[in-house]
Every structure is written in structure tokens, then in C-alpha cells.
Amino acid sequence: MELMGETVTVGRVANNEFDQADETFAGFCLCLKAMAGAIDKIDEADERLAAFLLYLQAMEGVKDKIDQADERLAVFCLYLQAS
């Protein structure tokens, strides 16, 4: 009878350890799911940043063209005043 009691006690301890391991694994899985969501958000932010940088580069080219047009207009105005 004593051996049977020890076996039951060992079985309960092992069962508790398995339960703790299951909880730990479940927590780990939740962490992985959260990280997957975070990775998706980071990827989306990277894409938006890349698009914004391309927009800035395009605007820089436009700004240069506007500056050139302003210079040409200023030269033309000086030419008209001199005429």
C-alpha cells in the first residue's frame, strides 16, 4: 500500500510538472504570435518609410527644377528691365 501511495504522489508531481510545462509552452506560443504580429507591423512600417523616402527623393528633384525655373525667371526679369 505504501508503494502505491508513493507512485500516486510521483504521478501527481509529474502531472504538475507537465501542466507547468504546458503553461510555459502556451505562453511561449502566445509570445511567438505576438512577435509575428510585431514583425508584420515592422515590415509595414518599413514599406511606408521606403515609400516616403522615394517621395522625398522625387520632391527633391522637383525642388531643384523649381529653383532652376526661379533663377531663369529672375534672369529673364533682369533682361526685361535692362531692355
Summarised one tens digit per residue, pLDDT across range 38-73 is 888 888 888 998 998 888 888 887 888 888 888 999
pLDDT number for residue 75 = 92
CA 64, 65, 71: angle at the middle one, nearest 5? Answer: 90
pTM: 0.46
- Per-residue pLDDT at 33: 86
CA distance linking residue 68 with residue 65, whole number of Å: 5
Distance of CA 34 to CAs 11, 20, 21, 73, Å? 34, 21, 20, 57
